[in-house]
Structures are given as structure tokens and as C-alpha cells.
């Protein structure tokens, strides 16, 4: 089961992605908004993939917990790469700047969450 704080964090990533996409729509149009939203969504989906994989701890020792975290990070990385390649190949009108900035916006949430109170 995914911890409630992590679910909240992923929800915040999705909200940031949506806000960024709306900003892109206002500033540069619908194709830029779709690109920014896709980039942000990839960040949120990858975080969800990490959370699911890391929550599959098979034991209770510290070593087993650390192994689960590393496995979650590998799964997150693979998910990110696969989704980015799929979007780049499928969405021919991709605006790379907005796409990457949308992804980076969700990364900002990720690294900011590390500073949040416990």
C-alpha cells in the first residue's frame, strides 16, 4: 500500500502539471499546453511507478527496505525513459521546451517534498 503522504505528493505533482499546462495554453497555445501537460504527467506517473514498486518490500530488515527503494528508482527511471520515447514518437506536434519544462516542474515538486516536515 502506498503511504498517504506519497499519494498526496503525487497528487500535488498532477496539480502542478495541470497548472503548468494551463499556463502554456494561455501563453503559447494548445499544442504547447498538451506538450507541457504530457511532460508533467510523465513525472507524476513515474513517481507513482516508484511508489508502487518500492512499496513491495518483501521483508522487514533495513537491507530489504533499501533494496526495494533501489528497485523503485530503477523502475521509475525505466518508466520515465519509455514514456518519453513513446510521447516523442507518437505526438508529432511536440513542443520540446514546454514538454521538458513540464517534466522539470514535477521534479521540482519531488525535490521540494524531500524538505517537507515529516
54-107 confidence digits (pLDDT tens)? 888 777 788 888 888 899 999 999 999 999 999 999 999 999 999 999 999 999
Confidence (pLDDT) at 118: 56
Confidence (pLDDT) at 116: 72
88-111 exposure pattern, b = at least 16 Cβ within 10 A, e = fewer: eeeeeebbeebbebbbebbbebbe
Q: What is the pTM of this model?
A: 0.87
Confidence (pLDDT) at 6: 84
Q: What is the mean pLDDT of the chain?
A: 90
Using alpha carbons, list the distances in angstroms from residue 63 to 6, 54, 67, 92, 96. 21, 13, 6, 44, 40
Confidence (pLDDT) at 110: 78
Closest CA to 9 of 107, 98, 94: 107
What mean pLDDT is predicted for residues 22-51? Answer: 95
Provide, rounded to the nearest whole percent, the portion of the chain with pLDDT above 90: 65
Is the four-CA dihedral 2, 86, 107, 101 of positive or negative sign?
negative
Closest CA to 16 of 107, 115, 87: 107
Provide, rounded to the nearest whole percent, the portion of the chain with pLDDT above 70: 97
Instruction: Cell numbers for 61, please give them.
Output: 530488515
Find cell 521509475 and name the residue: 76
Q: Is 17 exposed, middle or buried (0-12, 13-18, 19+ CB in 10 A)?
A: buried
CB 79 within 8 A of CB 48: no
Domain boundaries, the chain: 4-111
Please check the confidence at residue 114 and state whether its pLDDT lies above 80: no
Banded pLDDT at 36 (limits 50, 70, 90): very high
What mean pLDDT is predicted for residues 102-115? Answer: 87
Amino acid at each position: 500500500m502506498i503511504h498517504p503522504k506519497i499519494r498526496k505528493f503525487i497528487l500535488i505533482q498532477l496539480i502542478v502539471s495541470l497548472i503548468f499546462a494551463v499556463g502554456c495554453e494561455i501563453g503559447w497555445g494548445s499544442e504547447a499546453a498538451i506538450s507541457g501537460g504530457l511532460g508533467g504527467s510523465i513525472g507524476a506517473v513515474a513517481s507513482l511507478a516508484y511508489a508502487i514498486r518500492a512499496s513491495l518490500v518483501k521483508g522487514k530488515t533495513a537491507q530489504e527496505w533499501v533494496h526495494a527503494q533501489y528497485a523503485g528508482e530503477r523502475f521509475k527511471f525505466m518508466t520515465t525513459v519509455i514514456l518519453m520515447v513513446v510521447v516523442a514518437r507518437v505526438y508529432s506536434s511536440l513542443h520540446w521546451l514546454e514538454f521538458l519544462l513540464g517534466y522539470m516542474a514535477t521534479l521540482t515538486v519531488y525535490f521540494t517534498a524531500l524538505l517537507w516536515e515529516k
